[in-house]
Amino acid sequence: MASVSLRNIRKNYTRDVTVIRDVSLDIDDGEFIVFVGPSGCGKSTMLRMIAGLEDITGGELYIGETLANDIHASKRGIAMVFQSYALYPHMSCAENMGFALKLAGTPKAEIDSRVQRAAEILEITHLLERKPKALSGGQRQRVAIGRAIVRNPKVFLFDEPLSNLDAALRLNMRVELSKLHQELQTTMIYVTHDQVEAMTLADRIVVFHAGLIQQVGSPLDLYENPSNLFVAGFLGSPKMNLLAGVMLECGDGLASLSLQQGMIVSARCNASHLRVHDKVTMGIRPEHIRLVSADTAGALAAQVDLIEHLGDVVLAYIEIPGIHEVLCMKLPGSAPALAYGDRIHIAFPPEHVLLFDHEGNALPRLPA
Amino acid sequence: MPSRKHVHAMLHTGAHYTSLILFALFTTFPFIWALSSGLSGDASHMYLFPDGFWPHEATLDWFARVFREMPFTTYLKNSTILAFFTIAGVVAVSVLAGYPLARMKFPGRGLVFVAIIATMMLPSEVGIVPNFITLKHFGDAAAALQGTLGLGPDWNLREWIGLNSYFGAIVPNVAGAFGIFLMKQAFEQIPQDLIDAARVDGANEMQILWKVMVPVTGPSIAALAIFTLVSAWNDYLWPSLVMNSKEKMPLAVGVFNDLTGPFATSDNILMAAIVLTVIPVLVFFAFTQRYFISGMDGAVK
Ligand SMILES: Nc1ncnc2c1ncn2[C@@H]1O[C@H](COP(=O)(O)OP(=O)(O)O)[C@@H](O)[C@H]1O
Ligand SMILES: [Mg+2]
């Protein structure tokens, strides 16, 4: 087991294509950390640099206390699980799982017992003698994870390990991975583009975008206090509603802004470094929009565009006249029935409204 | 009454079978002809159509005479030695050259590959004269070495690496562009993740090559081995030039030398010898063909 530290890591594939710009991060021993971001943002590249499969262009990588930049992949004591599973097709599952130990010269009896133990944890004992081609996708992924466990690595790396599985199996494996981490207490670095996986698995999430870390924090912290527009838009499903506006009142108390058509919204944010008429973006999560009666203070008129019943919740897509943005609102399943074309009134509770300045950075929120 | 669809399907299958059977007859007819002539006690029907295609007064006499009238087992042994070491050499060279061309980055890689492929444009006969002269010099050098070292005449180093040596008959056939090309393609097919997985598992480059890449490309290697076997087994021209003593001739050369020409006994014994020459390859193929089938299934996805 070991911590991992990244210090100003950079990666260029060619001289002028920079994939990772300047990434610094401390990963604690035993932590489950998830790198999340859109496809192509450099997550796999980052992971492969930690694994030793790509050269590091600049910066320092520490695994434990050791500077690992120039240590060969085979000597880093890490295990990696690939999206494609990458099982050796000519070996049985047991041989696949024992391959690393065999290369390391471990006695055969010990290899057998460790493979057996890992197989028991993953419930694949009955598959050990089979070749990978005789397994289903989910079983192959278990074997691939088994191959990683057997080695007692210092760090586990996962590169989108569940992306090739169907939805039900993915959910299943997600739960098992969580349990596995509980059991092993080994540092795990997990890459995914799926924000649900990130939210459910991580001790801490690292949001990547365009080769830069956008924000690091616990899933809940990132959800509630995104530090910029990218994180706000990336985490959460359905997405946070974002509307453009200009500042009306700045101060360090309640800030207020005006949307198009002069609609006024208040937010419990510290906007003291902004000035009146500065352009801002306000954000509010679907579950925080309130359905109110017409005479409530600050009520905005709106019209229902589409209703989706998901059983436990109802998603209502609504439009405010004059603002050409569809807002999404999440209501409890027991909410009064809405239908296409209904005229309703909504309110944005100030404590749930987030503000982002013109560069997309979040304004600090004030305690309620 | 069968439906139109049914009739259609039957016609379709019938056409498939007919064309496959015709093709099989076309490719096997020389062998069938040779076999029936070798088995015929009455040689007079051999050149008649279609009588030539089945045995008349069936007998194994001709086969027995092959063993009496020429040193068949010696030739068989020589063919086996030549084929075995040619296969081993071709596979080793093709794997070791194909891997870096497919998987390593080094300056000039493209140029090296083009140069190797360019040799395929030349007919192999252009190599005969230079190779022959080179071998002769090898032999002279070996003989000189023998003199310097003061070894007795029964060492005969000249025939270890010069003319009339197994070495000389094998080595020019070992470096072939075709095998390198085939193995390069095979190595390129292997997913990068598989190599990365082995690397993370602690394998160094040589272990990756021998424990992962080579086993995974097994079907390609088996195919290469079979092609090489057939061409080495049937090779006539080069061994007939290099090997001038009967003890070292392979079957193709020996059968031709002993059973054709003005003093040949009969065409039937030649046909029997040809059948005996082909059988070892057929047997080998029958036992190895299942290795061609398995492949990459299950490695990724
Ligand atoms: N071997 C490579 N050579 C050049 N560019 C690459 C290479 N591998 C990845 N890239 C580029 O680097 C960027 C990040 O890739 P990657 O790390 O795979 O993204 P992610 O895993 O986040 O989807 C992409 O734009 C991709 O095109
Ligand atoms: Mg990726």
Q: Tell me if the domain spanning A4-233 has CATH number 1.10.3720.10.
A: no
Counting ligands in written order, the one closest to the CA of A83 is: 2
Residue A107, number of CB atoms within 10 A of its CB: 9
When scoring A99, A114, A135 by the number of chain B Cβ atoms within 10 A, the one with the most, hence best to mutate, is: A99
In chain B, the domains with their CATH numbers are 72-300 (1.10.3720.10)
- Give the model's pLDDT for residue A212: 93
CA distance B115 to chain A (A): 28
Instruction: Compute φ and ψ for B69, nearest 5 degrees.
Output: -95, -10
**Do A74 and B297 count as a contact with CB atoms less than 8 A apart?**
no
Instruction: Look at residue A279 and give its three-state secondary structure.
Output: strand
Residue B19, number of CB atoms within 10 A of its CB: 10
Residue A151, number of CB atoms within 10 A of its CB: 23
Pairing state of beta strands A313-319 and A326-332? antiparallel
Tell me the pLDDT tens digit for each residue of A187-226.
Answer: 999 999 999 999 999 999 999 999 999 999 999 999 999 9
Residue B290, number of CB atoms within 10 A of its CB: 9
Chain-centroid distance, C-alpha A118: 28
For B296, the closest of A89, A103, A135 (CB atoms) is A89
A74 in contact with chain B, both atoms CB, cutoff 8 A: yes
Cβ of A39 less than 6 Å from ligand 1: yes
Cβ of A192 less than 6 Å from ligand 1: no
- Taking an 8 Å Cβ-Cβ cutoff, which residues of chain B contact chain A? 191, 193-194, 196-204, 207, 211-212, 215-216, 218, 295-301
| Nearest residue of chain A to residue B296 (CA atoms) | A89
Tokens matching residue A160:
């989108």
Mutate to test the pocket of ligand 1, among A9, A13, A47, A208 (most ligand atoms within 8 A of CB): A13
Mean per-residue pLDDT for A118-132?
Answer: 93
Has residue A26 got a pLDDT over 60? yes
| Nearest residue of chain A to residue B291 (CA atoms) | A90
- H or E element in which residue B270 lies: helix B267-288
A238 preceded by a cis bond (ω within 30 of 0) = yes
**Do B296 and A75 count as a contact with CB atoms less than 8 A apart?**
no
- Give the model's pLDDT for residue B2: 63
CA distance A37 to chain B (A): 21
Classify residue A322 as left (phi > 0), alpha (psi -120 to 50) or beta.
Answer: left
Q: Which amino acid is at B102?
A: A
- Give the model's pLDDT for residue B298: 45
Q: Residue A316 contacts by C-beta under 8 Å, 6 or more apart in sequence?
A: A304, A306, A307, A308, A328, A329, A330, A331, A338
> Cβ distance A252 to A270 under 8 Å?
yes
Q: Which of A84-98, A322-336, B166-180 has the lowest mean pLDDT?
A: A322-336
Residues of B in contact with A48 (CB under 8 A): 196
Q: Whose CA is nearest to atom 7 of ligand 1?
A: A13
Alpha-helix residue ranges (DSSP H) falling in chain A: 43-51, 93-103, 108-122, 137-149, 167-184, 195-201, 219-224, 229-234
Q: Residue A308 contacts by C-beta under 8 Å, 6 or more apart in sequence?
A: A314, A315, A316, A317
Mean per-residue pLDDT for A267-285?
Answer: 91
The domain ranges of chain A are 4-233, 238-356
Residue B95, number of CB atoms within 10 A of its CB: 22
Q: Is the dihedral of CA B83, B88, B94, B97 positive or negative?
A: negative
Place of tokens 């025939």: B159
Question: Among the atoms of ligand 1, which is closest to the Cα of residue A160?
Answer: 21
Q: How many CA atoms lie within 13 A of B66 on its CB side?
A: 25
Mutate to test the pocket of ligand 1, among A35, A45, A55, A189 (most ligand atoms within 8 A of CB): A45
> How far is the C-alpha of A134 from the C-alpha of A123, rounded, in Å?
16
Question: Among the atoms of ligand 1, which is closest to the Cα of residue A14?
Answer: 4
Tell me the pLDDT tens digit for each residue of B145-167.
Answer: 998 988 888 888 888 888 999 99
Cβ of A42 less than 6 Å from ligand 1: yes
Residues of B in contact with A79 (CB under 8 A): 200
- Give the model's pLDDT for residue A263: 87
Q: Residue A273 contacts by C-beta under 8 Å, 6 or more apart in sequence?
A: none
Question: Among the atoms of ligand 1, which is closest to the Cα of residue A211?
Answer: 14
Mean per-residue pLDDT for A25-40?
Answer: 95
Instruction: Compute φ and ψ for B8, nearest 5 degrees.
Output: -60, -45
| Nearest residue of chain B to residue A135 (CA atoms) | B298
Mean per-residue pLDDT for A264-274?
Answer: 89
> How far is the C-alpha of A296 from the C-alpha of A209, rounded, in Å?
40
Residues in chain B where the model's pLDDT stays below 70: 1-2, 291-301
Cβ of A211 less than 6 Å from ligand 1: no
- Give the model's pLDDT for residue A139: 93
Residue A110: pLDDT band (50, 70, 90) is very high
Has residue A281 got a pLDDT over 80? yes
Burial profile A270-290: b = 16 or more Cβ within 10 angstroms, e = fewer: bbeebeeeeebbbbbbbebbb
| Nearest residue of chain B to residue A158 (CA atoms) | B197
Q: What is the DSSP string of A27-51?
A: E-TT-EEEEE-STTSSHHHHHHHHH
Instruction: Give me the CATH code for the A238-356 domain, please.
Output: 2.40.50.140
Instruction: Look at residue B124 and give its three-state secondary structure.
Output: helix
> Cβ distance B281 to B233 under 8 Å?
yes
DSSP secondary structure letter of residue B224: H
Q: Whose CA is nearest to atom 27 of ligand 1?
A: A40
Q: What angle do CA A165, A173, A309 make, to 5 degrees?
A: 75
Q: Whose CA is nearest to atom 26 of ligand 1?
A: A40
A78 in contact with chain B, both atoms CB, cutoff 8 A: yes
Tokens matching residue B197:
């997985």
> How far is the C-alpha of B114 from the C-alpha of B121, rounded, in Å?
11
Mean per-residue pLDDT for A82-89?
Answer: 93
ipTM: 0.86
**Do B202 and A89 count as a contact with CB atoms less than 8 A apart?**
no
Tell me the pLDDT tens digit for each residue of B27-68.
Answer: 998 899 899 988 888 878 778 888 778 888 888 888 999 898
Residues of A in contact with B204 (CB under 8 A): 72, 74
Residues of B in contact with A106 (CB under 8 A): none
> How far is the C-alpha of A152 from the C-alpha of A104, rounded, in Å?
13
Residue A165: pLDDT band (50, 70, 90) is confident
Q: In what order do the strands lie in the sheet with A58-63?
A: A17-27, A4-14, A58-63, A66-67
Q: Is the dihedral of CA A346, A350, A351, A356 positive or negative?
A: positive
CA distance B301 to chain A (A): 5
> How far is the C-alpha of B293 from the C-alpha of B289, rounded, in Å?
8
| Nearest residue of chain A to residue B207 (CA atoms) | A103
Q: In what order do the strands lie in the sheet with A343-347?
A: A290-292, A343-347, A300-309, A313-319, A326-332
